[in-house]
Structure 1
Amino acid sequence: MTALPSAAEISDILRRCRRDWLPAVFPAGRIVSGVFYIGSPHGEPGSSLPIPLNSERAETIRDFSGGFSGDDLDLYQEARGLSRTEAMAEAAQRYGGITVTFGQNRPRSQPKPPRIDRPANANAAVIPLSIDPATPVPALHRLGQPASVWEYYDAANRLVMRHCRFDETDSDGHPALDARGKRRKQFRPLIRTAAGMEWKWPTPVPLYHLPDLLANPSLPVLVVEGEKSADIGCDLIGERVVVTWAGGSAGIARADWSPLQGRDVTIWPDNDEAGAASARKVVAEAVKAGACSVRVVALPQGLPETWDLADPLPEGWTDEDLERLIAEALPAEGVGPAVAPAGYQPGALDFVWFGDIAVDLDTMELVEGVLTPGALSVVYGESNCGKTFFATDLALHIALGWRWRDRHVVQGAVIYVAAEGGKGVMNRIAAFRRHYDIASAPPFAVIRSSVNLLDPDRGHTEALIAAITHAAQHAGMPVALVVIDTLSRAMAGGNENASEDMGALVMNADRIRQETGAHLMFVHHSGKDTSRGARGHSLLRAATDTEIEVSREGAETPSVARITKQRDLETNGEFVFTLTSVELGRNPLGKPVTSCIVTPAEREAPSDGSGKRRGSNPPPAAQRYAEALLNAMIAHGETRDGKRGTTLQHWRDECVRLGLIPGGEDRDDQRRRSTNFNKNKSLLVEHSWVACDGDFAWSIRSG
């Protein structure tokens, strides 16, 4: 063990390991063009907190919704809810391989638990308990005591949240200023749960001044941005209830706007583009809540930028000027008692007004750069090119939540419709399970029968939707992917080249996607002229969001899966693979029964003369053995000849503890333990992740 490195050194370790720790700590985040996006330091989905993944120097990480500001260690500490020393020790051990000591009587930290690439339920409700108003607000590690505290009450007039503002200081203790010369500040919500006082948002967040709003049902409502503006607005403006929400622009979606139902609402925006954008979002929430009328104050020219009601009134202004602006507020676009024309059915054909259109930054890609949620894809190729193996491999990675080709994957349940017969698919799945030694049961199910997605009356569209819904309930998570293998069998005798039949198939596929939210993938065949793409009417390609062509030049050459169309992603990606045979057992005649698994065939980097492959990654199962080695090094590390490592026995014991190899003492368990451990150890050595010398092993992975 060694002394604890400095905070700057640990922050630098975390900066260089952002691709490892950010997805693990923030499972609801997403990666877009090399930037990791999350909605807050507490892990909420969103885009207000962007973090470059390949940063070469230290920089300040900021939550642009008005919250967090700090470095990698500050963010790690905030997200994990640890003290400064605890956060430093944990980060050093988990991502720097450094075991630290604080004195002889301090117990050693537990080994790092195995990482599971599985998105948590980021939308799980956080129900707050009431807070005793006499309870003091605790200090928040590096930020200290809050400069201001605003109290939020629920409909039962219980104190359920304190919204705290912390004023930042620089290294000398002086006020820290932003680029505009204003005091930098951070905001944190404090609630009480069964676990005690926690710095997190409740679900949903009540409006500020909610008891006043409910106690005065006949008064009009003025919505402002910020608690200071709301408090001052109550003094400046009479005969109205003044309310606001917590958390800036990102907090609008978290707030409960339902108390605005049936009320006359006026919105006073801050005097900048961000304020106008927030006002448009509040308009949409008020309309959705059923407000009787919604108006927006038109601010006059000449006001200082960002001016709001919390600022001093402009020279010469009086309270009457404020009242006049409110009285002259303009009706919000699209809101009002317009008379609907005959035949119009609200909700049947919804539209979004220009001013309400916002950039969608919150959608996670199902497979980074390859598949998007709820879309339609086609994987096609000639017979025996490996397209079904490719689709099965991709589907199993989604069900397991494993990274695929070093790309982020959002875990979800998978339904594989083996319309051409289930025996081959079952053996492929069994081969995958045996090769990767999977002991758990991922949310993956096979339908071993053909389906009719053509006929609207006698087809299986309704039945398949019901099956997907049932599978989601059984798995405890949404079905993310439905694979139909093959499109031809789903046509149920229809004509692939006829626009009517292909149109009916696409319409039913769209219905499945819309009603279940699942991504639907067809496995399909190439046409006679392979240069013209997938077989059938061009209507299919027009409706497809992602198209992947699988080809193989000869029986001895690798297969290549190439993305040939993307609707919402960059059309880029070529995945080379081979099929590795896996023996499953013996048939009644004593002959081996085999199937295949997909093995990535990456471009080889130049050899260093050792014969070891460099520049490629071992299979995901072997990578878990590498993580077990790091755990064993943390718990039982020693140094030999200047190399920090551990014994093979300690490594093997950690693999048993993590369930990677069996721990029993009978002969079969011992044989499997030895075989699996040695196989994966050899893979890690071959890919230059691990080195061994006799009974001693150490990690040599770079980057």
Structure 2
Amino acid sequence: MHEPVTSFAVHMEAIAEELLGAPNVRLSSDGDRRYGKHGSLSIDVQTGRYYDHETKTGGGVLDLISRETGRDHKSAMQWMREHGYLEQRERQASKPQQLGKEVAHYSYTDENGELLFQVVRFEPKTFRQRRRPQPDDPPDKIKHGWVYAVRGITHVPYRLPELMEAIANGHTVFVVEGEKDADNCAKQGIVATTNPGGVGKWSDHLTSFFRDADVVIIQDNDPQAKNPDPPNGDGALRWHPDGRPVLPGQDHAQEVAKALSGTAAKVRVLDLARHWPHMPPKGDVSDWIKAGGTLNALHAFADAAPDWSRTPFRSRFGGMRWEEIAVLGHSSGYSWLIEDIVPLDEITLIFGDSGSGKSFGTFDMSMAVARGLTFIGRNTEPGLVVYVAAEAGKGFSKRKLAYVIQHELQYDAAVPFYLCTKRPDFFSSDDDVNALIAEIEAIAKTYPHRLVLIVIDTLSALAPGMNENASQDVSIVRKRLVALQQRFGSAVILVHHKPKGGSTPRGHGSLTADFETTIEFEVVADRRTSKGGSIHRATVRKQREGKSGIRWEFTLPIISVGRNIWGNEETSCAAVPYDASESHERSGYQATSNERLLMHALYEALAEYGVPPPFPLPASISKVVDFNYVRMRMREKVVDADENQEAADNRFRGAFKRAGDRLRDAGIIGIQKPYWWATGKPVAGMGG
């Protein structure tokens, strides 16, 4: 890759077709031509670069010609001339170029202040470089006393005399992205420089001027780059071959740091967005100064920035040297978000019936992480939590209020927890997953905490139109979940449903097979609290590190969180740990499984639809309920929506009558049509 990125880019598409034939139309897009059965060879027609994903090699136009013809670069140039490409390029270059209005110019001088060349800005926004004429310049190249070509002129850093003086005196110097930024810094007393040409144009020659310097590189806050919009491109977000998003300003800062490392005495990269949460997209140090930034503040930020170091090699396949495997004291293959339960850098699947408490339980786990608390006595890795409430985003405010009330927190307490209330679509295309990644990247910069957990609640809301029983559909969504997880290296929790009466997640078996960890949430069928409330249980069903079987129980007490606009009470729930040893369960009537189900249904109906006993029932009965509500609740527990409803109803009617008659005869329930109530007589395993 010896040629400038844009030198022959306009010819790349035509040359690729001449050398390789027609592209793979099915796998190609407007900006990306794909070749080969699997599209492994990619041609970026905008930048004029190719990349072979099989051999992990790439380059520009000359590199592609060399690869396909066996020629060296000089001979590849001759090939282009023979095929008419250089003649076409030279004709295009000879056309007079129309420049806009000159709005600024920036002089680059040598160490003595002698002018070498200028960078000129025109409107519409474009930049050109120019120098003073030399005796042997053809007259037709001189325009208004300048030659707009600087080939052969030594490139130097901008504001070189001030830069050299600051380095000689041991002062910190700053590298910014443009001349305007360097000048604005100088007005504040900040010694700053830049390179001619802008992003991606740092040359090795510039590095030599920074020997033994203390350098801070200020990166621009650029959003992810995109291909040109139609009709010149597909407008898609751009990614590096290793999966990282293309962020021009941030990438440029890293490239400059890499170039200066080993020459400068100290190199740091400063991300102003971490200190200025309101930094706008495409914001730079000039914007920061305009907003009130000062010399002292900038040096304080620089002092806090860590020394830059080269990114160590990272295996794409989790490779480790022998001496790195099972280091003493760190033998586990997992780093844990919640010790022995939820691993970091993996996807965990949480599943359960509707009403099993899986969403409330997941929220409780997430808050333990965000607040840095232990969870069921186990350590957590504290940090930022991003919770995507794809199914119940509008009602999440009540969950927060219930949690705040239960844990006696200040309503506006600062907690590293970020909520997304609109559902992304991970099934139809890559658009929403890319947009979600970009949003999480942006919001993570505003928190000082490391992002450790992303929660997606629930799978069905995340993938409208997906056939959960089709492995191909499941694989599409899982691939996008993996892309989200790998981008941030955090834990991802996916919440999913379970079929009524089932024991595994709803849908294709790969939902269980493809995830490292699965946790099932359920209502405990044979026990209630001493007050008749439901007990919820979570069990680690699968854990590849052998931790399966861990379980915990909790209740979901109803908490009043205020009143609505009509003055009626609003309620929600909060998870509260449940300890059976403290429940003082009593022995009593030995109920069958159907009788216990009916008692659960009765308790639920009383809680939701119960009314004071009407005359002539005794006032000593606390609440009664119409038996039709009990019947409805029990039917929900034993009849699956997918089975034959007529046969199911016939079976249910007999079971319901037998259980009701037996409980009435044993004095466990009272009946006076149409009302039923619980007498308080104890039932074994149900706490009375």
Question: One fold, TM greater than 0.5?
Answer: no
| TM-score normalized by the length of structure 1 | 0.36
Is the radius of gyration larger for structure 1 or structure 2?
A: 2
Q: Which has the higher contact order (CA 8 A, sep 6+)?
A: 1
TM-score for both structures, normalised by structure 2? 0.37
